[in-house]
Amino acid sequence: MQFNLNKSIEILEKTPAILETYLTELSDEWLFINEGENTWNPYDIVGHLIFGEKTDWIVRIKIILSKSESKIFEPFDRFAQLNEDQNIPISQLLKTFSKLRRQNLEELKSLNISESDLNLTGIHPEFREVTLKELIATWAVHDLGHIAQISRVMAKQYKEEVGPWINYLGILK
């Protein structure tokens, strides 16, 4: 599929509802279990998504679209959520994520991005020059990747319990 801003927004709009449906009212065993040392659990992933909404996607989009000569992105702390209060209920985190995402998408739509704008560039601290199109596509795929990660982390909790069906459950391999 070729990049399309509206198709990307379709994914970005759905993510909060998917996560709310998926994670609300789950027991702590589902929310706080991970895949081992130095891996994230579903709670951590929601925290990571919140931090991205606050400091990454829209901030970088606005840098690319700005008239400034400096288009350099600040490094993104991919682990910042681990330093946040870990006692906030998941329902509150999900509401925060939903609110921030809604605000960011309203702002994205208000920017009236043109086809030519999609080729504008910014400077990523690791990748160097990146386009606006690549950044927005990454935002959508980032959501999908973390939804899949949550599913994988949760599925692996029953890896030993599924018996011979493990051969048909690719998510467990």
Q: How many CB atoms neighbour CB 55 within 10 A?
A: 14
Pair 93, 32: CB distance under 8 Å: no
pLDDT of residue 82: 66
Q: How many domains does the chain have?
A: 1
Q: What is the CATH number of the domain that holds 112?
A: 1.20.120.450
The DSSP-derived string for 18-61 is HHHHHHTT--HHHHH--SSTT---HHHHHHHHHHHHHHTHHHHH
pLDDT tens digits for the chain (173 residues)?
Answer: 999 999 999 999 999 999 999 999 999 999 999 998 999 999 999 999 999 999 999 999 999 999 888 899 988 877 677 677 778 999 999 999 999 999 999 999 999 999 999 999 999 998 999 999 999 999 999 999 999 999 999 999 999 999 999 999 999 98
**Structural domain boundaries enclosing 147:** 5-172
Pair 93, 47: CB distance under 8 Å: yes
pLDDT of residue 147: 98
Element (H, E) at 119: none
pLDDT of residue 78: 76
CA distance 66 to 9: 21
| pTM of structure | 0.93
Q: What phi and psi, each to the nearest 5 degrees, are found at residue 91?
A: -60, -40
Dmax of the chain from CA atoms? 60
